[in-house]
């Protein structure tokens, strides 16, 4: 588990499956991911995230608000999917339920996830990528002080462009987080 000021980040569990699937069915949440996912695809992705976390000891964390334990979405660092051009390496990503947008949760969760991965691995960098029209994710990347690396931009399998940003272990500020083993 990782804790930040307002959030806890835990391994995804069966308790989050329904909320995860519902979030992925929201066309507004999924607008930069090719549209809403059907139940089957969302469940496959959930299973993939859980398996990766069990295998690697890190990955997509379930984000919960400390004040009321509300599920806000997921955030975390994981190996880049092998078929994507930036692979191999690590990437950080996030997705939040729509009602949680605009409160700084994605930035807070991402900052804690980056601090955690840099504290417990020898990773020199973690990249983040999105489409150039994903204004919300681009804003999170800016708030995290990620460095733009145009030389690593690529095209997703569907032909859409991906823009790349980098968090360097030497440049990324640590702090404002607490890792717990519980």
126 Cβ contact list (under 8 Å, min separation 6): 77, 89, 90, 91, 92, 114, 117, 118, 166, 167
The values of phi and psi at residue 120, to 5°, are -115, 5
Q: Which domain does 82 fall in, by range?
A: 2-179
* pTM of full prediction above 0.85: yes
Determine the Cα–Cα distance for residues 58 and 33; give it in Å rounded to an integer: 23
pLDDT, position 181: 41
Residue with tokens 């329904």: 18
139 Cβ contact list (under 8 Å, min separation 6): none
Determine the Cα–Cα distance for residues 127 and 87; give it in Å rounded to an integer: 10
Write out pLDDT tens, residues 123-172: 999 999 999 999 999 999 999 999 999 999 999 888 889 999 999 998 76
- Closest Cα partner for 117 from 62, 172, 49, 80? 172
Domain with residue 13: its CATH number is 3.40.630.30
Q: Provide the number of structural domains found in the chain.
A: 1
């Amino acid at each position: 588990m990782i804790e930040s000021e307002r959030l806890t980040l835990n391994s995804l569990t069966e308790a989050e499956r329904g909320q995860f699937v519902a979030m992925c069915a929201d066309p507004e949440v999924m607008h930069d991911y090719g549209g809403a996912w059907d139940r089957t695809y969302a469940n496959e992705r959930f299973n993939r995230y859980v398996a990766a976390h069990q295998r690697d000891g890190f990955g997509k964390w379930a984000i919960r608000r400390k004040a009321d334990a509300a599920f806000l979405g997921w955030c975390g660092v994981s190996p880049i999917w092998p078929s994507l051009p930036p692979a191999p390496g690590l990437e950080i990503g996030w997705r939040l339920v729509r009602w949680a947008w605009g409160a700084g949760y994605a930035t807070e969760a991402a900052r804690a996830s980056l601090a955690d991965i840099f504290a417990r691995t020898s990773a020199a960098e973690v990249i983040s990528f999105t489409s150039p029209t994903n204004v919300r994710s681009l804003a999170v990347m800016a708030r995290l002080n990620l460095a733009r690396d145009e030389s690593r931009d690529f095209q997703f399998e569907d032909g859409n462009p991906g823009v790349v940003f980098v968090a360097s272990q030497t440049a990324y500020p640590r702090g404002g987080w607490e890792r717990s083993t519980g």
